[in-house]
Structure 1
Amino acid sequence: MRNYLIDSDGGVDAIKLQESDKPQPRPGEVQIQMRAASLNYRDLSVASGGYLRNNHRPIVPVSDGAGTISKLGEGVTRWKKGDRVSPIFLQKWIDGPPNDEILRSGLGGGIGGVLAEFVNVPEESLVAIPESMTFAEAACVPCAAVTAWHALFESGNLQAGQTVLCLGTGGVSMFALQFAKASGAKVIITSSDDQKLNVATGHGADETINYVTHPEWHREVQRLTSDRGVDHVVEVGGPGTLERSLKSTAVGGHVHLIGILDTPQGKVNPLLSIFNLLTIRGIYVGSRHMHESVLAMMQQHSIQPVIDQSFSFDEAPDAYRYMQSQKHVGKIVIEF
Structure 2
Amino acid sequence: MQGIVLRAPAGLDRLETVDLADPGAPGAGQIRVKLHASSLNYHDYAVALGWIAAADGRIPMSDGAGVVEAVGDGVTEFAVGDSVVSCFFPTWQDGPARIGDFSATPGDGIDGYAREAVVTPATWFTRSPKGYSHAEAATLTTAGLTAWRALVVEGQIKAGDTVLVQGSGGVSVFALQLAKAMGATVIATSSSDAKLERLRALGADHLINYKSQPNWGRAARDWTGGQGVDHVVEVGGPGTLAQSIEAVRIGGRIALIGILTGMAGEVPTLALMARQARLQGLIVGSRTHQQEFISALDATGIRPVIDSTYPLKDLAAAFRHQGAGAHFGKICVAI
How high is the TM-score relative to the length of structure 2?
0.96
Letter in 1 for 2:23: P
Matches for 1:76-225 after TM superposition, within 5 Å: 76-100=75-99, 103-225=102-224
Letter in 1 for 2:8: S
Matched residues in 2 for 1:263 and 1:133: separation? Answer: 34
* Alpha-carbon offset, residue 269 of structure 1: 1.6
Letter in 2 for 1:114: Y
> Are the counterparts in 2 of residues 245 and 255 from structure 1 also a CA contact under 8 Å?
yes
SS of equivalent residue, structure 2 residue 267: coil
Matched with 2:5 is: 5
**In the superposition, relative to structure 1, how do residues 205 and 77 fare at CA in structure 2: closer, same or farther (>3 Å)?**
same
Matches for 1:262-277 after TM superposition, within 5 Å: 262-277=261-276
**In the superposition, relative to structure 1, how do residues 162 and 253 fare at CA in structure 2: closer, same or farther (>3 Å)?**
same
* Alpha-carbon offset, residue 111 of structure 1: 1.2
**In the superposition, relative to structure 1, how do residues 91 and 263 fare at CA in structure 2: closer, same or farther (>3 Å)?**
closer
Matched with 1:39 is: 40
Matched with 1:317 is: 316
Shifted more, 98-107 versus 203-212: the winner is 98-107
Identical-residue share of aligned pairs (%): 39
* Alpha-carbon offset, residue 101 of structure 1: 7.7
Shifted more, 170-179 versus 94-103: the winner is 94-103
SS of equivalent residue, structure 1 residue 124: helix
> Are the counterparts in 2 of residues 147 and 285 from structure 1 also a CA contact under 8 Å?
yes
Q: Does 1:296 align with 2:266?
A: no
In the alignment of these two chains, the number of paired residues is: 334
SS of equivalent residue, structure 1 residue 272: helix
Shifted more, 300-309 versus 77-86: the winner is 77-86
> Are the counterparts in 1 of residues 129 and 297 from structure 2 also a CA contact under 8 Å?
no
Q: Does 1:69 align with 2:68?
A: yes
> Are the counterparts in 1 of residues 92 and 99 from structure 2 also a CA contact under 8 Å?
no
Matched residues in 1 for 2:9 and 2:41: separation? Answer: 17
Matched residues in 2 for 1:32 and 1:112: separation? Answer: 15
**In the superposition, relative to structure 1, how do residues 70 and 102 fare at CA in structure 2: closer, same or farther (>3 Å)?**
farther
* Alpha-carbon offset, residue 14 of structure 1: 1.7
Matched residues in 1 for 2:146 and 2:129: separation? Answer: 19
* Alpha-carbon offset, residue 2 of structure 1: 0.2
* Alpha-carbon offset, residue 297 of structure 1: 1.2
* Alpha-carbon offset, residue 226 of structure 1: 1.1
* Alpha-carbon offset, residue 227 of structure 1: 1.1
Shifted more, 11-20 versus 233-242: the winner is 11-20
Matched residues in 1 for 2:258 and 2:98: separation? Answer: 19
* Alpha-carbon offset, residue 266 of structure 1: 3.1
Matched residues in 2 for 1:103 and 1:2: separation? Answer: 25
Matched with 1:23 is: 23
SS of equivalent residue, structure 1 residue 268: coil
Matched residues in 1 for 2:215 and 2:101: separation? Answer: 39
SS of equivalent residue, structure 2 residue 240: helix
SS of equivalent residue, structure 1 residue 138: helix
Letter in 1 for 2:247: S
Shifted more, 56-65 versus 244-253: the winner is 56-65
Matched with 2:326 is: 327
Matched with 1:237 is: 236
Matched residues in 1 for 2:94 and 2:258: separation? Answer: 23
Letter in 2 for 1:42: H
Which runs of no fewer than 5 residues in structure 1 stay unpaired? none
**In the superposition, relative to structure 1, how do residues 261 and 156 fare at CA in structure 2: closer, same or farther (>3 Å)?**
same
**In the superposition, relative to structure 1, how do residues 262 and 101 fare at CA in structure 2: closer, same or farther (>3 Å)?**
closer
SS of equivalent residue, structure 1 residue 240: coil
Shifted more, 21-30 versus 40-49: the winner is 21-30
SS of equivalent residue, structure 1 residue 64: coil
Q: CA RMSD in A?
A: 1.5
